[in-house]
């Protein structure tokens, strides 16, 4: 059969419709045809490559999983070091190969657990680490010379790296014996995740300090994991995630070279970290394209070691694809995403738990997530064949197209002067936020189907969830801090910290002095503060995109939107101004995708919207809401701090005599907590998956009722 014969048959089945009606355009702007043939692969040079050879299209290792499966990881941290340690040891017994440590938000932001700004965050979304003693408990009875440890740490990377080295040392393990990865990727924090401490330029200096130290003293340790995952979670398309991640990698390479290192001193131990979403073949193609592109980007540096061209990656299934509605569907989503990562050739993998859109993962859900990988690895037969989709007309064509689109975007970053300058100009952040707004609008319009959310919905029972008593965890950490500060040599600690500050003001590598400080039992907060005296603490400007959400609604000529806007106009005529919503991110939770999407959607629907700065205290958010005469204070919570922070907001409103300001909440808030929040005075709670038009309608109705009373 020829292609023309196929077209004739296809047209007959379409009953006169044009074949173009079967073409799908992805969010990346890539047109996907219904059929691919050998002709689509003409001119693609990489197809003749074997796995383990430049440009590594088919994998960085010659034998891939046929010789050794990917590393099974589970990213976890449970409030206290002891609880986390128990979880790690049980997982290692159950087949997990390496550890991935999740730290709580105060640790990420360089605050000790006793700092007044972190009352609602200690032990939430990860483990609290204040000193070497906490780190020793975290790895108790885990042989650090045998187990690979991955740590997701960027802002407080210096004290955490120092504490890890000292904890291993006191376990009897030398630094050169340690294997694993420190994320150490600060640039993506300024784009999407926001757990930074210092401004971009000094932060890049600390990245280079880690790379330099590990290249000299820790030959088995990966000094950086360049992360696209958080861009993916913030709403980036596959092209944006791929391009911005590799552009970040280029910036780190240049920073390391500026220290006098040769490319082969560190490039073989650079690693990457990608998110894996629900576009099955796109995610496979993304990993394959990443390897080709990285090899191309490295060649101008003239490496002599072929491994300097090799992109190795960890992957994590998507958290943002998980739905709070009908959450057992998330098991299927995670399985498909994990399979996509494996078929794309990941070197290690972490699978998310099905309840993470509702609450922090439970022990049960984490077990299901881990077993998902074990089933793929040991029951399916998939690992027996290297790159089983190699040669697929569609996958190869998609890989090539994705590579070309990403290379164009990398070139655009380079025209800005590299990633640091592009970030300072706001270019990547705004591009990702626009993609996120478009994605949410497509879901709300039903153009993108989410089973159980905007289609095939059901009534369901609440899940059993993991509950953490943050007050108890914080009290325990504070007791430990007090005990350590009483027992240590205070003058010695002070002297080392002063030397650390002096090193920060010079060109010396600060990590050796940080190791001395942690060995003397300085705290994470003290080491961070010593650096902050020179570098300052960074406050990012707040920007909101405009018009994206509303434009997609207008394209569809939706009468419900027009009707709602008329209600807003009526409100303005009656009250003399627009309904004013202030959105606040309280505590140390920097995940602001939801807040930004809500802001652009509500503004496009007619509200006046104000975004408060990140990391506000309840009192600061209330003061801003009062000063700016907000009608509604919207609290966005992603890190389980609502039980402590929301009551503090309500108390601050009462103390200021501003109970007339409506409080609404959104984000990851378990249904079990709703009644308590309503009792506190919260007017409405919008969980993940709530269509934003419905949220706006309910908010306006509540405001109208309040002003009528």
- Choose, from 108, 230, 438, 631, the residue flagged as catalytic: 230
Three-state SS at 684: strand
Determine whether 456 is an active site residue: no
Residues 269, 32 contacting (CB under 8 angstroms): no
Residues 540, 197 contacting (CB under 8 angstroms): no
Buried b or exposed e, range 112-124, using 16+ CB within 10 angstroms:
bbbbeebbbbbbb
> Measured between alpha carbons, how far apart are the two ends of the chain, in Å?
74
How far is residue 453's CA from residue 207's CA, in Å, rounded to a whole number? 41
Which pLDDT tens digit goes with each residue over 423-468?
988 899 999 988 988 888 888 888 899 898 888 888 776 666 666 6
Per-residue pLDDT at 112? 97
Per-residue pLDDT at 2? 83
For 502, half-sphere exposure in the C-beta direction (CA atoms, 13 angstrom radius) is: 7
Which pLDDT tens digit goes with each residue over 259-313?
999 999 999 989 999 999 999 999 999 999 999 999 999 999 999 999 999 999 9
Sequence-separated (6 or more) residues with CB below 8 Å from residue 248: 185, 187, 188, 226, 227, 419
Tokens coding 421: 């300058």
Tokens coding 105: 């938000």
- Choose, from 108, 124, 580, 585, the residue flagged as catalytic: 585
How far is residue 423's CA from residue 429's CA, in Å, rounded to a whole number? 7
For the CA atoms of 515, 516, 522, 527, the dihedral, rounded to the nearest 10 degrees, stands at -60
Task: Tell how many helices (H) and how many strands (E) occur in the chain.
Answer: 28, 16
How far is residue 183's CA from residue 223's CA, in Å, rounded to a whole number? 7
Q: Is the torsion defined by CA of 261, 264, 267, 268 positive or negative?
A: negative
Separation in Å, CA 201 to CA 196, 249, 414, 421: 12, 16, 17, 10
Tokens coding 22: 């079967």
How far is residue 616's CA from residue 599's CA, in Å, rounded to a whole number? 17
Determine whether 591 is an active site residue: yes
- Proportion of the chain in helix, strand, coil states, percent, rounded to 5: 55, 10, 35
Determine whether 475 is an active site residue: no
64: left (phi over 0), alpha (psi -120 to 50) or beta: left
Radius of gyration of the chain (CA): 26
Buried b or exposed e, range 172-183, using 16+ CB within 10 angstroms:
ebebebbbbbbb
Strands in 71-76's sheet, in edge-to-edge order, are: 221-222, 180-182, 148-151, 98-101, 71-76, 348-350, 313-317, 270-276, 224-227
- Choose, from 403, 405, 429, 591, the residue flagged as catalytic: 591
Residue whose pair of structure tokens reads 């970040």 in the numeric block: 248
The residue among 424, 437, 535 whose CA lies nearest residue 190 is: 424
CB atoms within 10 A of CB 685: 20
Residues 668, 689 contacting (CB under 8 angstroms): no
How far is residue 551's CA from residue 404's CA, in Å, rounded to a whole number? 28
**Where do runs of H (alpha helix) occur along 380-489?**
393-415, 419-424, 427-444, 470-487
CB atoms within 10 A of CB 78: 23
Per-residue pLDDT at 246? 98
- Choose, from 56, 65, 75, 252, the residue flagged as catalytic: 75
Residue whose pair of structure tokens reads 């990457």 in the numeric block: 272
- Choose, from 589, 592, 604, 673, the residue flagged as catalytic: 589
Sequence-separated (6 or more) residues with CB below 8 Å from residue 200: 186, 187, 190, 420, 423, 424, 538
Per-residue pLDDT at 504? 97
**Where do runs of H (alpha helix) occur along 582-641?**
593-604, 618-627
Residue ranges for the chain with pLDDT beneath 50 = none
Per-residue pLDDT at 470? 65
**DSSP for 368-410, written as a single string:** HHHHHHHHHHHHS-GGGSSSTTTT-HHHHHHHHHHHHHHHHHH
* Beta bridge partner(s), residue 99: 74, 149
Sequence-separated (6 or more) residues with CB below 8 Å from residue 378: none
Q: Report DSSP state, residue 50.
A: P
How far is residue 648's CA from residue 587's CA, in Å, rounded to a whole number? 11
Three-state SS at 472: helix
Per-residue pLDDT at 75? 66
From the number of C-beta atoms within 10 Å of its C-beta (0-12, 13-18, 19+), residue 473 rates as buried
- Choose, from 56, 229, 252, 553, the residue flagged as catalytic: 229
Prior bond of 89 cis (ω within 30°)? no
How far is residue 14's CA from residue 22's CA, in Å, rounded to a whole number? 9
What H or E segment, with its residue span, contains residue 227?
Answer: strand 224-227
Determine whether 229 is an active site residue: yes
Tokens coding 497: 């910290």
């Amino acid at each position: 059969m020829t292609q023309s014969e196929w077209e004739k048959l296809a047209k007959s089945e379409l009953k006169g419709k044009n074949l173009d009606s079967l073409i799908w355009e992805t969010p990346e702007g890539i047109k996907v045809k219904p059929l691919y043939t050998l002709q689509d692969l003409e001119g693609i040079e990489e197809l003749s490559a074997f796995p383990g050879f430049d440009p590594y299209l088919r994998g960085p290792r010659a034998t891939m999983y046929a010789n050794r499966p990917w590393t099974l990881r589970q990213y976890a941290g449970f409030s206290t070091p002891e609880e986390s340690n128990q979880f790690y040891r049980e997982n290692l017994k159950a087949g997990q190969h390496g550890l991935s440590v999740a730290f709580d938000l105060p640790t990420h932001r360089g605050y000790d657990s006793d700092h007044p700004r972190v009352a609602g965050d200690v032990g939430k979304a990860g483990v609290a680490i204040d000193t070497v003693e906490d780190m020793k408990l975290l790895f108790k009875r885990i042989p650090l010379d045998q187990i690979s440890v991955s740590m997701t740490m960027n802002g407080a990377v210096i004290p955490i790296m120092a504490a890890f080295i000292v904890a291993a040392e006191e376990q009897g393990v030398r630094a050169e014996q340690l294997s694993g990865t420190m994320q150490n990727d600060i640039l993506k924090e300024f784009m999407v995740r926001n757990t930074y401490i210092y401004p971009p330029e000094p932060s890049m200096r600390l990245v280079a300090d880690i790379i330099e130290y590990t290249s000299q003293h820790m030959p088995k340790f990966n000094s950086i994991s360049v992360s696209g995952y958080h861009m993916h979670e913030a709403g980036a398309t596959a092209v944006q995630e791929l391009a911005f991640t590799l552009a970040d990698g280029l910036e780190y390479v240049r920073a390391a070279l500026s220290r006098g290192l040769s490319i082969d001193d560190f490039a073989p131990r650079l690693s990457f970290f990608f998110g894996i979403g629900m576009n099955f073949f796109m995610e496979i193609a993304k990993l394959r394209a990443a390897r080709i592109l990285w090899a191309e980007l490295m060649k101008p540096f003239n490496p002599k070691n072929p491994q300097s061209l090799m992109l190795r990656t960890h992957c994590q299934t998507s958290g943002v694809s998980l739905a709070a509605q009908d959450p057992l569907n998330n098991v299927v989503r995670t399985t498909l995403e994990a399979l996509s990562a494996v078929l794309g050739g990941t070197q290690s993998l972490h699978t998310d738990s099905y309840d993470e859109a509702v609450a922090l993962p439970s022990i049960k859900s984490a077990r299901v997530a881990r077993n998902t990988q074990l089933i793929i690895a040991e029951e399916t037969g998939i690992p027996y064949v290297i790159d089983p989709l190699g040669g697929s007309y569609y996958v190869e064509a998609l890989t090539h197209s994705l590579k070309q689109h990403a290379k164009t975007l990398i070139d655009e970053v380079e025209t800005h002067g590299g990633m640091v300058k592009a970030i300072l100009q706001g270019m990547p952040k705004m591009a990702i936020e626009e993609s996120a707004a478009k994605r949410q609008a497509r879901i709300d319009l039903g153009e993108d189907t989410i089973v159980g959310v905007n289609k095939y919905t059901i009534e369901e029972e609440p899940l059993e969830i993991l509950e953490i008593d943050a007050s108890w965890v914080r009290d325990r950490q504070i007791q430990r801090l007090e005990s350590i500060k009483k027992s240590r040599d205070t003058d010695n600690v002070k002297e080392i910290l002063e030397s650390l500050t002096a090193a920060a003001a010079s060109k010396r590598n600060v990590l050796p002095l940080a190791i001395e400080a942690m060995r003397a039992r300085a705290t994470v907060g003290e080491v961070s503060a010593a650096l902050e005296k020179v570098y300052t603490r960074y406050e990012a400007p707040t920007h909101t995109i405009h018009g994206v959400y509303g434009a997609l609604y207008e394209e569809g000529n939706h009468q419900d939107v027009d009707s709602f806007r008329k209600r807003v106009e009526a409100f303005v005529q009656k009250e003399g101004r627009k309904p004013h919503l202030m959105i606040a991110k309280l505590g140390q939770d920097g995940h602001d995708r939801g807040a930004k999407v809500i802001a652009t959607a509500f503004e496009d629907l007619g509200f006046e919207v104000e975004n408060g700065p990140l990391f506000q205290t309840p009192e600061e958010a209330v003061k801003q809401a009062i000063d700016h005469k907000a009608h509604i204070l919207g609290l966005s919570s992603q890190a389980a701090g609502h039980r402590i922070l929301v009551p503090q907001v309500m108390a601050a409103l009462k103390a200021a005599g501003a109970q007339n300001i409506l409080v609404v909440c959104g984000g990851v808030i378990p249904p079990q907590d709703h009644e308590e929040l309503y009792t506190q005075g919260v007017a409405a709670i919008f969980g993940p998956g709530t269509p934003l038009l419905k949220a706006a309608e309910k908010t306006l109705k509540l405001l109208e009722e309040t002003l009528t009373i």
